Structure 1
Amino acid sequence: MTDGRDIPRRDFLKSAVAIGGTAAFSACLGREEVDVPTGPSDLSSYPRRQHAWNSVLPTDDAGNPTAPRHRILLLLDYPSDSVPTDSDRESMETVLQGIEHAYERSGKGLLLTVSYSRAYFDRFDEDLPESVDLPAPNALAPFENPEFDAPDAVVHLASNTAQVVLGAEEALKGNKSTVNGVDQPNAALTDVLEIVERRTGFVGDGLPAKNADEAEGVPADKFPEDAPLFMGFKSGFKKNQASEDRVTIQAGPFARGTTQHISKLQLNLNQWYNQDDRWQREAKMFCPYHAENDVIEGTGDNLGTSSKIDDCKPVDETAREMGVVGHSQKSAAARENDNPIILRRDFNSTDGGQAGLHFLALQRGIGDFEKTRKAMNGTDVSEQSAVGQRNNNGILQYIRTERRGNYLVPPRGLRALPPAKPADNTQKVTYASS
């Protein structure tokens, strides 16, 4: 790989993350001029909740947390069907702490989670506690036929700084003895776990447009230049997201953990941009009321902290009157006490040369995700109106679900190869209570 000096900086950084490896990391260091603070020598102040990211993320002008721009998902297998050893647990925790010493826990630095599948926990004689809702993945719509992911573990690396996710990955693989000026332990995550798949992506103003030519079937000339996601609109409004408290498991040995669903979706952007006009895209992403009343300016920055779905008419009424319903409008039906129940941390991707979305959602139990997905399907609406099972039914006709996986994100003290049923007070490392 060359150092990419003739490639625009943002394009280069995204490409480097997608390619990965020591050469990409080294080249990235030369292009990304940023001083990343190191992490503390004492990690005891770090929160027990691995997913507690919001307090250390930057915010936009409206106060919405700004998602980290660069992402890597490492899907991992424990190379034995036996119960993990204490030695392997200690080695894994040592490696994870190594990259946390190297990079500050922040949007500019490194944010990470480690999660585990039902398949991982099936190796234990004990069942998961009742406080953990973690079924095996399954199809969640009558029109989808996804493959199911069942790696033992997933490591999610996230940062606004491309060199950080690359450096962390290389350190986890044992390819770098020093990152960000900090010596790493003489151990590697790959001494304990095998990497079976690597997924990458990006999210943030302008990144989809700048990388549109890397995927097939993407009408690059139709993209809003400042859109943070491939479908052209802002997402992640504060009031349309569950709080980190809402998605946190409340009881049992995995209290302060959460569950995670990861879907791999393929996007049909040619149809989205070339077949549909702006009115249709607004109506299908939000609701017809927004399209009729010019509620959205540009990508939606004017909406503040909410997509203003409460201004829309009820879904069934909209379906009968307009023959089309919006994605956000349907999703709002899954609220409890008028509050969302999932926290999205998804990102776009050009993995495999296809425009895609890695839909990553956190929730207290997988049942909350399934409830939200059922609302997104709009099956009842399609049976009672002119709205089709997929056509004019939110954005369903533009996405295809290729893979689904469900995971438990344990509390931080149990993130290294946890047992299925640890003692309630199990915390090998003492951490802050948040």
Structure 2
Amino acid sequence: MPANSSRGLSRRSLVRAALAIGGSSALAACQAAERGPDEEPSDSPAYPRGVDDPAELPDRQHAWDDYLVNSVHGTTTQSQHQLLLGLSYEGSIPPTTAERDQVENALRGLERAFQWGSGLDTSGSVNNGLLFMLGYAPRYLDRVDIAVDGLQPPETLLEELDEDPAMAADFDALLLLDSDYASVLLAAEEALFGEKETLNGVPVEDRLTGVFDVTTRRTGVIGKGRPAQELDNDDIPEDAPLSMGFRAGFDNSLPPEDIATRSSGQFAGGTTLVVSRIKTHLDDWYEQSHRQRMKEMYCPAHDYEDVGDIGDRMGDHSGITEENVGDLEELAAEHGIVGHAQKVASARDEDFQPKILRRSEGVATDDVDGSSFNFSSIQTDTRKFLAVRRAMQTDEYDVDVPADRHGIVDYLGTRSRSTFLVPPRAQRALPSNR
């Protein structure tokens, strides 16, 4: 390996480790690694600044698509680094005006310090800003007398999927942060919960401490070649963006944000968020041939000539059609395989539009026990997530196909699930009906 390539890999490993560890020392190490060997520390802003007027930002917390860079295929691309902070609520019931002001000012501090994602110019290749959303779990909402139609507690999701309700995460809220720079995420965390006095050159005026406490940190990375670098598995293709070796996020599997936005009720303009930690059984997955894995990931009607090694030949479209769904039983009988993308497409709406929108899908870099990933999606109603996840189950189909050839579900294991209301920006600071 050339010296510069080896150094780049070492720097990426350091950045990943720093984000997983957290804290002021990790932030300093991460900033040094991301600056590069020839750059000196500077008091000037390292990243584009945000805005002082919140009216310049979108009304939706989850308005990310217009602020994410586009891939070479023209589809929006998730940022390389994700930080998920599971929070406990330590404030008053009902929340006081002072507590609401504290939360809002702390979040506005992030928006002043960093531009929203990549800004509206998505022609570049890097999200050098920050995207984030703050969601509230059913257990917080129950305490403040808010009932949200379409938000199920995580225990309900787990029971509906025949999973253990004890895997429900005990969060009151969750802050999901996203950037191509891990140092942006660490700096934001230190400004909200640490002792950092300035953020990208902007004074820190308020924090979340005293109102929220961080009980769980989850970190993840995604992108071309990252799984092969991060995971101890030589079978993962060198250029694959995901640990199971194939691309996802095609234009026909990424619905517009309007699909995931609530249009009526108290929290119109908001959405619901489902966050899962999933174990992947990669050794079993890679014991199969590439051809079989390809057909299980997408559809048995797909050919290598159209897909390529990691889905690179498919451009902006997954190749999944309504005919693939309608012919599922016939294709299963012919090939002895049912495709994952084929199955989840059966849960699309009457216009063949997906019902959920991915918000993070990164390899878990804080997982010391092996290969896991963080899967987060937004949708108007968590029952839509449930419908899509149920479509992955083998017993939903009357086909004689072994479980290990029935999409990817047999290679996944749930470790945790949680659900949240993500209010519109104007209502994000401690909503309450009291």
TM-score, with length taken from structure 1: 0.88
Find the partner of 1:325 among 333, 338, 356: 338
The equivalent residue for 2:65 is 54
| Counterpart amino acid of residue 182 in structure 1 | V
What aligned pairs does 1:372-383 form with structure 2 within 5 A after superposition? 372-381=388-397
The yes-or-no answer on 1:75 pairing with 2:94 is no
Question: Which amino acid counterpart does residue 33 of structure 2 have in structure 1?
Answer: R
Listed one character per residue, the Cα deviations across residues 87-135 of structure 1 (whole Å, up to 9, x for unaligned) are: 111101111111111111112110000001111111134x425xx4111
Q: Give the aligned partner of residue 191 of structure 2.
A: 171
Distance 1:114 1:276 in 2: 40
Aligned to 2:401: 387
Residue 163 of structure 2: aligned partner: 144
1:307 to 292, 311, 318: 318
Match of 2:239 in 1: 226
- The residue aligned with 1:134 is 151
How many angstroms does 1:33 deviate by? 2.3
The residue that corresponds to 1:250 in the other structure is 263
Partner of 1:196: 215
Q: Say yes or no: does 1:351 pair with 2:366.
A: yes
Range with bigger deviation, 298-307 or 248-257: 298-307
1:347, distance to aligned residue in structure 2 (A): 1.7
Q: Structure 1 residues 109 and 409 mapped into 2: Cα distance closer, same or farther (>3 Å)?
A: same
Indicate the SS of the match to 1:222. coil
Q: Describe the superposition over 1:53-92 as per-residue Cα deviations: whole angstroms up to 9, x where unpaired.
A: 1111110111110101111100111125722222111101
CA 183–154 in structure 1, closer or farther in 2 if over 3 Å, else same? same
Q: Which moved more, 1:301-310 or 1:394-403?
A: 301-310
Say whether the 8 Å CA contact 1:140–1:373 is kept in structure 2.
Answer: no
More displaced, 66-75 or 171-180? 171-180
Q: Secondary structure at the match of 1:77?
A: strand
Q: What SS does structure 1 have at the residue aligned with 2:301? A: helix
**Between 349-358 and 321-330, the greater mean CA deviation after superposition:** 349-358
Alpha-carbon distance change, 162 to 189 in structure 1, aligned in 2, over 3 angstroms = same
Change (3 A) 1:363 1:6: closer
Decide which of 17, 20, 23 is 2:19's aligned counterpart: 17
Check the 8 A contact 1:104/1:110 in 2, yes or no: yes
Q: Distance in 2 between matches of 1:80 and 1:61?
A: 46
SS of corresponding position for 1:373: helix
User: SS of the residue aligned with 1:295?
Assistant: helix
Aligned twin of 1:43: 54
- Tell me, yes or no, if the aligned pair for 2:247 and 2:310 is still in contact at 8 Å: yes
Aligned residue for 1:405?
418
2:41 matched residue in structure 1: none
User: For residue 347 of structure 1, what is the amino acid of its counterpart?
Assistant: G
- Aligned counterpart, 1:431: none
Contact 1:118 1:150 (C-alpha < 8 Å) held by counterparts: no
Amino acid at match of 1:134: L
* 1:420 Cα deviation after fit: 4.7
- 8 Å contact 2:91–2:211 — kept in the other structure? no
The superposition leaves residues 161-201 of structure 1 with CA deviations (integer Å, 9 ceiling, x where unpaired) of: 1110111011111320112111111x321221111111110
Once residues 392 and 6 of structure 1 are traced to their aligned partners in structure 2, the CA distance between those partners, rounded to angstroms, is: 38
Residue aligning to 1:29: 31
Instruction: Tell me the CA shift for residue 349 of structure 1.
Output: 0.8
Q: Tell me, yes or no, if the aligned pair for 1:200 and 1:351 is still in contact at 8 Å.
A: yes
Deviation string 1:199-245 (CA, Å, 9 cap, x unpaired) is 110111111111113xxxxx2x2121111111111111122122101
Superposed displacement of residue 318, structure 1: 2.1
* Counterparts in 2 of 1:96 and 1:210: CA distance versus 1, 3 Å: same
Contact residue 241 and residue 341 of structure 1 kept, 8 A: no
**Residues in 2 aligned to 1:241 and 1:328: alpha-carbon distance in whole angstroms:** 12
Contact 2:300 2:332 in 1 (8 A): no
Q: 1:356 to 1:49 in 2, by over 3 A?
A: same
2:351 equivalent to 1:334: no
Root mean square deviation, CA, Å: 2.0
Q: Partner residue of 1:184?
A: 204
More displaced stretch, 75-84 vs 327-336: 75-84
**Alpha-carbon distance in structure 2 between the residues aligned to 1:253 and 1:385:** 44
Q: 1:81 to 1:399 in 2, by over 3 A?
A: farther
- Say which is worse superposed, 10-19 or 27-36, in terms of deviation: 27-36
Q: Which moved more, 1:311-320 or 1:44-53?
A: 311-320
1:112 partnered with 2:109: no
Identity over the aligned pairs, expressed in percent? Answer: 38
Normalization by structure 2: what TM-score? 0.88
Unaligned runs of 5+ residues in structure 1 are 214-218, 422-434
2:107 is paired with a residue whose SS is: helix
Q: CA–CA distance in 2 between the matches of 1:141 and 1:118?
A: 17
Distance 2:416 2:236 in 1: 26
The one-letter code sitting in structure 1 at the alignment partner of 2:358 is: R
Matched, 1:414 2:427: yes
CA distance, structure 1, for counterparts of residue 390 and residue 9 of structure 2: 43
CA offsets per residue over residues 20-62 of structure 1, 9 Å max, x none? Answer: 1111111111121284111122222101111111111110111
The 3 A distance-change label for structure 1 pair 111 and 300 is: same
SS of match in other structure, 1:114: strand
Please tell me the residue identity of whatever aligns with 1:318: L
Q: Distance in 2 between matches of 1:165 and 1:142?
A: 33
How many residue pairs match? The answer is 403
Counterpart for residue 366 of structure 1 = 382
User: Residues 370, 7 of structure 1: CA spacing in aligned structure 2 closer, same or farther, 3 A cutoff?
Assistant: closer
